[in-house]
Structure 1
Amino acid sequence: MRNRTAALLLVLSMCPVPGLMAHAEGANADTTWMTVLLGGRKIGHLEIEHQRTGDVVTTTQTLVIELNRNGTGVPMGVTTHSTESAAGEPLAFYSRSSLSSSDSTVEGKRQSDGNFAVSTSVGGETRMITLSWPPGAVLSEGQRLALVKAAGHPGEHYEMSMFDPASQAVARVDMEVIGNERVVLPDGPRMLNHQRQVLQTPRGAQTMDLWLDEQGMARKGTLQMLGHELEMLACNKACAMAPVQNVDMFRVAMVDSPRLLPPEMRNDFLRYRIHMQPGAPQPVINTDEQHVTRLGASDWVVDVGNAQPGGESPPDEQDTLPNAWVQSDAPAIRQLATRAVGGASDDLQKMRRLRSFVSDYITQHGLDVGYASALEVVRTREGDCTEYAVLLAALARAENIPTRVVTGMVYADRFAGSSRVFVPHAWVQSWINGRWQSFDAALRRFDSSHIALDTGDGDPWHFFNAASLFGQMRIEEISPAWQLAGNTPPSVAAEPPASPGGRP
């Protein structure tokens, strides 16, 4: 699986899964149903329809899940459609994601010169590009053919280049044929071929196990999500479409804090000791405000505060350009940015005014939005931390200020019925006076209780990729500056009440 596609599946179970496809000879469509479970609880279903007509093969996958976010059920889904020759040559692809009130779509069609004309629509705005097909990359049928070819060779290792329609990117995945195994499915036991795919990322490996029938159709798939096993199991339609069970995404994703962090402590330097499950990737990144030191195979020290340049790469062209989710070139975005910065004299003053503007602009604080683009937020004025972040990033880029969207976690005294926890969060970094500086429009201020896991260009896959680490993470110790210096602790103020407007 491609990094960002795998990430979305890991967190929201809503991307097409390479290998989960049916195969049919003839002109009639063959449909496969799968139930999707997280930690043994049903969260959705996957429908795969495969049809071959002459030399053209079409595969359509529709994944629908529902996760609870702090008491609110959020149904989400994605549909992908690939058209290929019987030999697996790509001809066309399509993807529709339901992450917010407005669907996002991607459609690509092969042209006479071999390139693909690709249109992307997010938030009601459509963008067109020309894509040169990546050498060796395959869609659904090409993946199935590779799986079938390798199935008879236990112990074999091979590589597959998987194309993801949602982002037009390729993941080069290491495959291993483990061999035939007896697998118990809802409809009874089957002898299936076990293959494992491993995607190497800069911070570790992401692994998914597949159990395939003789036609290369996956009857079972497993991977780790938020510290729990996610399973996809083939079964009949009634089983796949059975009602979902309540799984609260926020409760699953919370990380306990080993101590209370009063405001005065968060305003100063903090050192964290973080432990991950064995084999989990590095959870945190270096930034200009955060320094990471590895202690061993599963432990890291993270220092937040004492900002200085050099912790991460300086801005490049991508940090100022508009994209499908951060539409900084849209007239509505540019007009808002001009209005918000007013007569600001430098980029720091501009960012402070933009942060304040966005904090006040979003008036409906809903947890049922999912993930909206900047233009959607301009229209609806609603969302949670991700909507604050993408809108602030778009406004900053409209003012030619290099800006990235940060995915991480932040401390909350109380959240969703729990106390002293770190929860998923998003904010932005902007390039100010030679270094990256953070601005948090959702909470109105940035402090040392923000721990960065990833940075990106504002598309949702970065957020979901980083958030997948939460269930595998434990914060074992938090040391404030005075403790590290061996000083007497300052007087601690009473724990403040939870802020209704300061939601992650």
Structure 2
Amino acid sequence: MSLYQKKPFWILGSIFVLGFIALFMIRLDLIQKYFFRTQSLPISAIKSPGDKETWMNIVQSHRKIGFSHSRFSAEQDGYRLQETVRMRINTMGMVQDINLKTIGRLNRDFSLADFDFNIKSGRFNFNVTGSVSGDVLTVRTNSAGASREADIPLKAKPYLLPAITAAMSAAELNSGDKYTFDIFDPATMGQTAVMVEVLGKEDLQVMGEIQSATKVALNFKDTSQLAWIGDSGEVLKEKGILGIQLEKTTRQDALRGLAAAASADLTQAASLASNVLLEDLDRLATLRVEISGIPLQVVQLNGGRQAFKANILTIEKETMTNFPADIHERNLQNLEKVFLKPGPFIQSDDQKIQNLAQEIAGTHAAPLDKVRMLVEWVYKNIDKRPVLSLPDALSTLDNRVGDCNEHAVLLAALARAAGIPCRVEAGLVYLKGRFYYHAWNLVYLGRWITVDAVYDQVPADVSHIRLVTGSPSQQLDLIGIIGKLQLRVLDH
């Protein structure tokens, strides 16, 4: 029996990485929240912060799972910010190390000049660099030896958040003050909003001493993080998702070894117990569940094979008949055409992807047969193990390993290369009495059909409950509902 058959391999590891970068480390200069603009805080009115070096422990349930080290220093033409982060994470019973490094160069007014971000975990290594020229940010990604460049228009000058946290502290903010920032999200190559609210002054114990701090809440994707900023502008403590905290410490303490057990199993912690046992999922034609506990506007429950009304979700398995003999781009609607295009993490225009799609599916097979062949190839050729990284098709193809995220982005790239529109969906799937967070695909065969390369299912069984759809970036929308969503099976 394979390891996959013994354990679920779902998306929470990657969601955690994305969420940790995007939300929990929101004040750090990691790439998920690298850029933003202030609405009302005048940076020019703030005195320049002095050189700083900060070490922080990353803790979950009183257990150290990592550390961060940041340096902020003045240079001739501005400032330099450098951050390194190391974490030891338990996902699906497997302990993995993840390393992140960011270097940012700031102008005199604290606006961003350029940056270099790298994330490494096991065999996966992903690098992003960027530079600002006028109102355009040029981003370059490098994965599996392939480079890609994109120009992103900016709404205003981009700033690094660490400089702003220092500025906020120096500005003597008052309780109740609120500020909105646009942060850059590399998954969407766009900007999204973060609201910061000043909650007031609070005394905090830091390394055995009581220090005065300004407590702020950062609201992102319908979830909140708390941060305590010292009078000098340093972040003394953070509290975020899944009970994880950052706490200021000394260099010696931060570098002290990590526990072998690492974090609690994040996948199990986020899963939902089912009120009934589901058997013979392949034979189920319909599943009805009650959804509650979350703001419904943040999820996409209605559409396709799912119908949602009065908190009741009905999922109908698709019928696999009456498909067209071929799919021509000229006959597609704009939505379908969007999901034929390559993306930063779905590199369907890469020659290796193009050649493999041709080798697997050929050019003369019917669209449904192509999909079945592509799904089967990914199922058989990608080793099913959790990966803590930003999933992309080329790295997955090179490393031949990954969880459902890697399966989904690779299948999306291969399908698009074969001329079949394909998008990534994420939500929940049932396994052995629980619902786990998971990712799969939707392919267009004259109508949208749900498929899962982890299970080799065309169509996917009805226990696949879609919460978000579109691209891998949509998984960030799940951050705000993990731990809040409630689900009850009504009938099947």
| Pairwise TM-score range, normalised by the shorter structure | 0.7 to 0.9
Give the drift of 1:165.
6.2
TM-aligned CA deviation for residue 307 of structure 1:
5.2
Residues 194-273 of structure 1 mapped to structure 2, 5 A cutoff = 194-199=215-220, 201=221, 205-223=222-240, 225=241, 228-242=242-256, 243-244=258-259, 245-263=262-280, 267-273=284-290
Matches of 2:441 and 2:21 in 1, distance apart? 26
1:62 match: 84
Q: Is contact 1:270-1:304 (8 Å) kept?
A: yes
Distance 1:198 1:367, change over 3 A: closer
Displacement of 1:114 in angstroms is 5.7
- Which shifted more, 56-65 or 161-170? 161-170
- C-alpha change, 1:169 and 1:285, in structure 2 (3 Å) is same
* Map 1:356-375 → 2, pairs under 5 A: 356-362=376-382, 364-368=383-387, 370=389, 372-375=391-394
Letter of the structure 1 residue corresponding to residue 274 of structure 2: S
Aligned AA (1:330) = D
Q: Distance in 1 between matches of 2:102 and 2:301?
A: 32
Q: State the Cα deviation string for residues 329-350 of structure 1 (Å, max 9, x = none).
A: 1111111111222354432232
Question: 1:292 is matched with which residue: 283, 302, 308?
Answer: 308
Residue aligned with 2:349, SS: coil
- Decide which of 127, 135, 138 is 2:159's aligned counterpart: 138
SS of 1:471's equivalent? coil
Q: TM-score scaled by structure 2?
A: 0.81
Alignment match of 2:111 (pick from 89, 113, 117): 89
Cα–Cα, structure 1 residues 11 and 131, in superposed 2: closer, same or farther, change >3 Å?
Answer: closer
SS, match of residue 194 in structure 1: strand
Structure 1: tracts of 5 or more residues without a match: 1-5, 414-419, 481-504
Q: Deviations over 1:39-72 (max 9, x none)?
A: 4432211111111123411111222211112332
The count of aligned residue pairs is 444
Determine the C-alpha separation between the residues in 2 that align with 1:186 and 1:465.
Answer: 35
Alignment of 1:167-182 (within 5 A): 168-182=189-203
Task: For 1:304-453, list aligned pairs within 5 A.
Answer: 304-305=315-316, 315=335, 317-342=337-362, 344-362=364-382, 364-368=383-387, 370=389, 372-413=391-432, 420-433=433-446, 435-445=447-457, 446-453=460-467
CA deviations on 1:405-437 (whole Å, 9 max, x unpaired) are: 111221112xxxxxx11222221101221x321
Residue pair 2:61, 2:244 contacting (<8 A) in 1 also: yes
Deviations 1:146-188 (A, max 9, x none): 5236543222222223345676532322222221111223442
Residue 284 of structure 1 and its aligned partner are, at CA, apart by 5.4
How much has 1:136 moved relative to structure 2? 4.5
TM-score, scaled to structure 1: 0.79
Contact 1:179 / 1:193 at 8 angstroms: preserved in 2?
Answer: yes
Q: Is the 8 A contact 2:119 2:389 kept in 1?
A: no
| Distance change >3 Å, CA 187–CA 62, structure 1 → 2 | farther
Contact 1:11 1:464 in 2 (8 A): yes
Distance 1:36 1:264, change over 3 A: closer
Tell me how far apart the structure 2 counterparts of residues 162 and 467 of structure 1 sit (CA, whole Å): 16
Partner SS state of residue 472, structure 1: coil
Is the CA contact (8 Å cut-off) linking 2:170 and 2:232 kept in structure 1? no
Measured in 2, the distance between the counterparts of 1:100 and 1:43 equals 17
Aligned letter for 1:304? I
RMSD: 3.0
Structure 2 runs not aligned, ≥5 long: 1-13, 30-46, 320-332
User: Does the alignment pair 1:148 with 2:169?
Assistant: yes
Residue aligning to 2:40: none
Asked if the contact 1:100–1:371 (Cα under 8 Å) also holds between the matched residues in 2, the reply is no
CA distance in 1, matches of 2:24, 2:131: 19
Could you tell me which amino acid in structure 1 is paired with residue 109 of structure 2?
Answer: A
Correspondence for 2:481 among 459, 469, 472: 469
- Identical-pair percentage: 24
Amino acid at match of 2:316: G
Distance in 1 (alpha carbons) for counterparts of 2:24 and 2:128: 14
CA distance in 2, matches of 1:38, 1:352: 42
